[in-house]
Every structure is written in C-alpha cells, then in structure tokens.
Structure 1
Amino acid sequence: MDLIKAIIIAIVEGLTEYLPVSSTAHMIFTSSIFGIQEDEFVKMFQVSIQFGAILAVVFLYWKKFFDFKNINFYLKLAVAVLPALVLGKLFDDKIEAVLGDPVPIAVVLILGGVVLLFIDKIFKVHTIDDEKEITFKKAITIGFWQCLAMMPGTSRSAASIIGGMQQKLTRKAAAEFSFFLAVPTMLAVTVYSIFLKDWNHNGVQQKGYEMLMQGNNLMLFLVGNIVAFVVAVIAIKFFIGVLTKYGFKPWGWYRIVVGIALLIYFTQFK
C-alpha cells in the first residue's frame, strides 16, 4: 500500500467513523475498488487509524474529557465499554473471518438502512438531553447495543445511537454519547491491534508494532492518523447538524443505495 492509498483509506475512515454508515464496510469496499491488497498490515492499518478519529472527539469535546471533577462521566464510559471489550475478545476470529467476504457486509448495510428509515418513529419518546442524566444502567445498556456493530456493516455509531434513543435520549444526546463511548472502545481496539494481537504477516506471527517498524509502514500509520483526525473533526460537526435537523432518514437512504450498488458490484463484476 502506497501513501496515496493510505490517505484515501484514512479519508474514508474519518468521514464514516462517526456517521451511522459503517466505516469498516466503507474501508473494505474502498480497498477493493482501488485495488489495495488486503494483507495483514492493511487490516491493522484500517483498525489503528481509528486512533486519529478518537482524537477528533477529544479535541471537539475537550472540556468534557478533561473535567476531572465529573468522575461519573468516566465511570459511565468504563461501564458502557465493558460489553464490547468482553464480546470483542471472544468473537475476534469470527469477526475477522466475515471481513473477508464483502457480500454479507453489503446486505447488512442495506438492512441497517431500512432500520434507520423508521427509527425516529420507533423511538418517539426523548426525555434525556444531557449526558449527566444518563444512569449507569442506561450506559451499560447502550454498551450492549454497541456490540451489534461487531457484525461488519452494522455501524458502531448507528448501533450505539439507536441504543441511546431506545433509552430515551434525544438524537443529539444519543449521538454525543456515542462519540464519547467511541473513545474508550476504539482506543482499546487500537491498542489490542498494535500491541496484543498476533498477525500472520508474510507467514510470520508478528505484533502490530513489529509490522509498523518495517519499510515505510510507520510513515503510513502517522499520516493516516493525521488525515483521519482532520476529516473526522469536519464529519462530526456536519453529522450533528444534519441529524438534529433531518433525523436518520438521509443516512438510511444512503446506506440502502450504497449497499445495493456494492452488492451488484461484488456479485456481478468481481
């Protein structure tokens, strides 16, 4: 993978990580369309550049993340992230196996789009408009909803936002809590992929950081995270505005159209 392709993937990650459209699906499809070989480094790169997207949330909501007097905020995130940490570790191999087949991912993209078309009607009651009103029970419930995104194509953002709305959060509050929850979730995934996971790179078992030290991989990693950070900052601001004004329908139709197009592409032309 060269620098241009790394930047393209990073742009896709930054644009889609916090939108309810599945960043994983978009990066897989982008890699296929641009002929980016899906080797172990590329897989790790797609996961690890989420670190840049994490920093975008911390940057935009720095007052929230550095308000050390609000201990409950950190405890709620710790509780909410537990289901993903446990189930993610248990099903890591099965998730990775699905990543190799784009057809079921395209199908999930379409089905998720259909759900988003009706989600505003399904969850009509919104009484919570501030993170401080979210109880620990609601936080862990949203955490379990987030686990639905372990099926590639679902979207971590969509699953956790829908979970928030099911717990009576307003669209804006649900979206923001989803952003907050993304920080420990994706930080854990990034640390795991770089320092703990064994990757079969060129027939040799290696840690992620060992792959980063080869060739120009470290440079690709750094550039990818910087690009993902900048693009994610823009995407978050854009998403909040559209979500508040129009709800989920635009994203539902987007998922359906893109999912059908990709399903045709991968079944007829690949």
Structure 2
Amino acid sequence: MSAYFDALILGLVEGLTEFLPISSTAHLLLVGDMLGFQGPPGKTFEIVIQLGSILAICVVYWGKLWSVASSLNQPGSRAFVRNIVIAFLPAGIAGAFLYKYIRQLLDTPVVAAVALIVGGFIILLIEKMVHKPLVHTVEDISPRRALAIGACQVLAMVPGVSRAGATIMGSLLLGVDRRTATEFSFFLAIPTMIGASVYSIYKNWADLSFDNGALIAFGFVAAFLAALLVVRSLVVFVGRHGFAPFAWYRIVFGGTMLVLLLSR
C-alpha cells in the first residue's frame, strides 16, 4: 500500500506542476527522492504519468484542436500549426543531441533545487519588465517569435528551470499577453512531451517494464485528474494574479529542499 500511496503522490505532483512555471521535473525528482520511491525500471512510471498530463490538455482543448485539424485550409489554422511546429524544433533537436548530458543532470536533486530558486527570482524580474503586450492570439505569433519561444524552451532541459516557465516567460518578454502565452505553452507541451516520451522509450527500450501495471495506471489517473484541474483554472488565475505567486513558491520550495538535501 505504501507503493500505491507514493504513486498517488507523484501522480498528483506531476499533474499539478507540469503546466505551472514551477518545474514538474524538479518536483518529481525532489519528492521522489524524499519518498524513496522505486518505480518500475526504465523510467516507465515517469513516462506514463506525463502522458496523463498531456491527455488533460487534449480533453480541455479538444474543441480548439479539432477545429484547427478540420480547417487546415484556413490561414488561421495553418498559422496555429506553423507556430507550434516551429517552437517545437529547437527542443526537439537539442534533446536528440544532448540526451546523455540531460540524463546526468536529471539525477542531481541539488541542481533542481538551485534552479527553482534562481528561476523564481527571474520570474519576479520579468514580471516587472513586461509592459503592454503586442500579441493576443496564438495565430498572431510570428514565425520569428515562435522560434525564439522554442529556444527558451530548450533551457527547460535543466531540471528545475520548468518547461512551462521558460516558454511562458519567454513569450511575455517577446510581447505576448499572459493568456496567449499560457495557452501557447499548453499547446506546445503536446508535441514536446510526446516527443520526449517517445525518445525516452527508444533510449530505454531494453529496460522498459510494465511490471506493477496497476501502480503505473494509478499514477496515470492521478496525473490526469490533477492536470485537468490546473489546465481548466490556470489561465483565469494568471489573468488575475500574474506569475509572482509561482515565483515566491519556487523560492520557498527550492530553498527548503536545498536545506534538506544539504543537511542529510
């Protein structure tokens, strides 16, 4: 039962943090380390619960995604797909060439804790720098802006930086409004996380195991439900409060984890 409790906690952590600018990788790494969680080999558990989070986006934005897919002859739909593809390319290419080094970083909880703290201060700085936005829809993002946002996403390969945080903050600096920056981060997560999962499966194929399938399914459902809550509410929340609350959370959580890690 303790293994199922750990799977529930980690599934909830994944779903609650994947689309917030607070780094799901760092939270899974730090919380998993504190729990002493030993999931199925080959990172199967981590891969599957991430797909649970992606499913939440597909459910919430199904209408938008279907509308785009069924009207690719329209300029707006083509611009939407173009921007997602362009923004995905930097992380896709960098991930393919830097995978070995990224894996080494992923096993370093201290790196994740420090990145959380530093990233929190950067978010506070960016919030003060952002002025009147110039872009108000995903379709209106220019190819150059999309590529720059994608380059920001590459920074998220360091645990603790946060994929959502890097793309949203990069978007804000490039003149995209908060709502559009948040939604663009959601949509960009679909190819990015699916691509990362497929590549991870390929690299770990020999070690993959679905032993304890019920444990994996438990974590998947928990991640899906938690992510569903976040995706449905995040846009409204940041519209009212901005991203400063997440910055302070990063600083407090990262600082607490760093103290605990260094005191062991």
Please say whether Structure 1 and Structure 2 have the same fold, judged by a TM-score greater than 0.5. yes
| 2:171–2:181 contact (8 Å) kept in structure 1 | yes
Segment of structure 1 superposing worse, 142-151 or 123-132: 123-132
- Counterpart in 1 of 2:21? 20
Matched with 1:149 is 156
1:79 and 1:48 mapped to 2: Cα distance?
Answer: 26
Does 1:227 pair with 2:222?
yes
1:157-168 alignment, distance < 5 Å? 157-168=164-175
- Structure 1 residue 39: deviation in Å? 7.2
CA contact (8 A) 2:120 2:248 kept: yes
1:248 corresponds to: 243
Alignment-mate amino acid for residue 2 of structure 1: A
In structure 2, distance between residues paired with 1:24 and 1:47: 11
Q: CA deviation at 1:197?
A: 1.3
Query: Do 2:168 and 2:181's aligned partners in 1 also have CA atoms closer than 8 Å?
Result: yes
Match of 1:109 in 2: 116
1:168-247 map, 5 Å? 168-194=175-201, 196-198=202-204, 206-208=206-208, 211-212=209-210, 215-216=211-212, 218-247=213-242
Q: Following superposition, which runs of at least 4 residues in structure 1 exceed 4 angstroms of deviation?
A: none
Contact 1:76 1:136 in 2 (8 A): yes
Instruction: Give the match's secondary structure for 1:153.
Output: coil
Counterpart check, 1:58 vs 2:64: no
Does the aligned pair in 2 maintain the 1:157–1:178 contact within 8 Å?
A: yes
Q: Is the 8 A contact 2:41 2:207 kept in 1?
A: no
CA RMSD after TM alignment: 1.7
Q: Distance in 2 between matches of 1:72 and 1:151?
A: 30
Unaligned segments of structure 1, at least 5 residues: 200-205
| Shift in alpha-carbon separation, 1:153–1:38, aligned structure 2, 3 A | farther
Aligned twin of 1:121: 128
| Structure 1 residue identity aligned to 2:216 | F
TM-score for the superposition, normalised by structure 2: 0.91
Q: Deviations over 1:217-244 (max 9, x none)?
A: x333333222211110101233222211
| TM-score of the aligned structures, taking structure 1 as reference length | 0.90
Q: 2:260 aligns with which of 238, 262, 265?
A: 265
The one-letter code sitting in structure 2 at the alignment partner of 1:238 is S
SS of structure 2 residue aligned to 1:221: helix
CA distance in 2, matches of 1:222, 1:72: 36
Q: In the comparison of the two structures, how many residue pairs are matched?
A: 256
> What percent of counterpart residues are identical?
38
What corresponds to 2:99 in structure 1?
92
The residue that corresponds to 1:30 in the other structure is: 31
